[in-house]
Chain A
Amino acid sequence: MSNIIKLKTPFTNESIASLKAGDMVSISGEIYTARDAAHKRLVDLLDAGKELPFDIKGAVIYYVGPSPAKPGKVIGSAGPTTSYRMDAYAERLMEVGMKGMIGKGKRAKDVVDAMVKHKAVYFAAIGGAAALIARSIKSVELVAYEDLGPEAIRRMVVEDFQVMVINDLSGADLYEMGQAQYKVS
């Protein structure tokens, strides 16, 4: 395994330019949570020419719907949800400056192409390692859409959130590379 690359949010074109599919990355700083229901509302706002409820420039969006926080904790368990459900909305957010997405599972080809075009990176966190991942989340604050419950948009401060680059700026895909390496014919 390669060494862990440390990255701070928000991202810039320069800060993500050298990332390669397969790199282990430790993310620290503010990230935003959103799943499909919240994505739909964000895209509806853009379509209506309105402001988004947070600054999308350089932002990293984490596809997660956490479990409720126990008393004294900032959050419950918080692993990634499957990313393809956000494929229909991802390019619109890249167009206005989103630079990173964290989820799990393969993205559609048009989303990977959009990442190359708009310079954005897709990372996977370990699906189902939700109690472990919660330890890297230091604070959580509601940003919008409280009515969506676990699907509301929240701002999280994370420290050393370990993820892996799936799609880099060249359009490489770690899922395809990994399978090709270990396939037994």
Chain B
Amino acid sequence: MREIDAKDITEAVARLCVEANTDLSADVVGAFNSGLENEKSPVGRAVFKALLANAEIARSEKVPMCQDTGFAVIFAEIGQDLHIKGGSFTEAINSGVRKGYQDGFLRKSICDPFTRANTKDNTPAVIITDIVEGDKLTLTIAPKGGGSENMSRVMMLTPSGGKKAVMDYIVQRCQEAGSNPCPPVIVGACIGGTPEKAAILAKKALLRKIGTKNPDPDLAAMEDELLTRINNLGMGPQGLGGSVYAMAVHLEKHPCHIASLPLAVNICCHASRHKEVTL
């Protein structure tokens, strides 16, 4: 059985927390450039220019692109033939978050829900694990800011509502979110599963490269239609008015109970941060 050391996990997580927060991925920068071309509003175009400049400063100076360096959400695909030695898996991840947020001058934003006392090291991370075949460990670090996360919802629709109810709810959610989640946004949604399954898959949908379609042609068509409908609302970049509120809509689906039609919507700000490593 293959073995990896817990401290290697810690090192990788620490590095990726900093990298995710300072180095915006090429697909997002590409989407900013497309937005700059397609946006009709002069103010909206100025926003895209500012975001491109901001991403460049963050990368070159190794400073966070956004002061809200997020909740450290970590997706882990753990090969069933892999053994982790030298410490607890959860603690290895949290140590990495602690180190990355401290050494990288990232903001610590995690607190007690009632006392609001800050944990001061951005832990605990939210760790979502999948046991997969093989002997590798793939970690995806996806820091998520509070402003866009506050716009997330899980809705238990009635099956009779069908596709129309799903699409109307997603469009309505964007309208209500307005300028709050820092548009231009990426809209992630999952239809089906249970409420908790849908919430996880909606967030996971945000990890796809911007603009890649769901391989299911029905879902891909819904993604296109939703993107048009959302952008036709006219809210534009930052909600200041314009034609590009959303840069992409990413849908997932999962089988659900015969009585249910769950829908989770997770809106991501333009600072769509995620970095992956396989150990």
Q: Which positions in A face B, CB cutoff 8 Å?
A: 1, 37, 64-70, 76-79, 81-82, 84, 104-106, 124, 126-132, 134-135, 149-150, 164, 174-175, 177-185
Q: Are A129 and B180 in contact (CB under 8 A)?
A: no
Q: Are B240 and A174 in contact (CB under 8 A)?
A: yes
Q: Are A105 and B178 in contact (CB under 8 A)?
A: yes
Pull 5 A–B residue pairs with CB atoms less than 8 Å apart, ordered by A: A64-B67, A65-B107, A131-B65, A132-B54, A175-B240
Q: Are A128 and B54 in contact (CB under 8 A)?
A: yes
- For B68, list chain A residues within 8 Å (CB): 65, 79, 81, 130
B61 — nearest CB in chain A belongs to which residue?
A: A131
Q: Are B147 and A81 in contact (CB under 8 A)?
A: yes
Contact of B63 among A37, A77, A126, A174 (CB under 8 A): A77
Q: Are A104 and B180 in contact (CB under 8 A)?
A: yes
Q: Are B43 and A178 in contact (CB under 8 A)?
A: yes
- For B66, list chain A residues within 8 Å (CB): 77, 79, 128, 130
Q: Are A149 and B118 in contact (CB under 8 A)?
A: yes
Query: Which residues of B (119-145) have their CB < 8 Å from a CB of A?
Result: 120, 145
Query: Most B CB atoms within 10 A — which of A82, A126, A127, A164?
Result: A127
Q: Are B63 and A132 in contact (CB under 8 A)?
A: no
Shortest Cβ distance from residue A110 to the other chain B in the assembled complex, whole angstroms: 17
Q: Are A177 and B67 in contact (CB under 8 A)?
A: no
Rounded to whole angstroms, the CA-CA distance of A174 and B234 in the bound complex is: 13
0 or 1 for each of B31-57: is its CB under 8 Å from A? (1 = yes): 000000000111100110011011001
B241 at the interface (CB under 8 A from A): yes
B239 at the interface (CB under 8 A from A): yes
Rounded to whole angstroms, the CA-CA distance of A181 and B54 in the bound complex is: 27
Assuming A66-B107, A68-B107, is B63 touching A131 (CB within 8 A)? yes
- For A179, list chain B residues within 8 Å (CB): 233-236, 239, 241
B179 at the interface (CB under 8 A from A): yes
Main secondary structure of the interface of B (DSSP, over half): loop
Q: Are B57 and A132 in contact (CB under 8 A)?
A: yes
Assuming A81-B147, A105-B239, A178-B240, is B271 touching A128 (CB within 8 A)? yes
Rounded to whole angstroms, the CA-CA distance of A37 and B112 in the bound complex is: 13
Rounded to whole angstroms, the CA-CA distance of A129 and B235 in the bound complex is: 18
Shortest Cβ distance from residue B71 to the other chain A in the assembled complex, whole angstroms: 14
Rounded to whole angstroms, the CA-CA distance of A55 and B106 in the bound complex is: 31
Q: Are A128 and B234 in contact (CB under 8 A)?
A: no
A78 — nearest CB in chain B belongs to which residue?
A: B67
Assuming A67-B67, A179-B235, A184-B232, is B108 touching A129 (CB within 8 A)? no
Shortest Cβ distance from residue A106 to the other chain B in the assembled complex, whole angstroms: 6
- For A183, list chain B residues within 8 Å (CB): 232-234
A73 — nearest CB in chain B belongs to which residue?
A: B63
- For A77, list chain B residues within 8 Å (CB): 58, 63-67
Shortest Cβ distance from residue A158 to the other chain B in the assembled complex, whole angstroms: 15
Query: Most A CB atoms within 10 A — which of B43, B46, B108, B239?
Result: B239
- For A130, list chain B residues within 8 Å (CB): 54, 64-68
Contact of A104 among B65, B182, B243 (CB under 8 A): B182
Rounded to whole angstroms, the CA-CA distance of A174 and B178 in the bound complex is: 12
Q: Please give 17 more A-B residue pairs, beta carbons under 8 A apart, in addition to A106-B239, A126-B238, A131-B61.
A: A67-B69, A67-B107, A69-B105, A76-B67, A76-B105, A77-B63, A77-B64, A84-B180, A104-B179, A105-B147, A124-B238, A130-B64, A149-B118, A174-B240, A177-B241, A178-B236, A179-B233
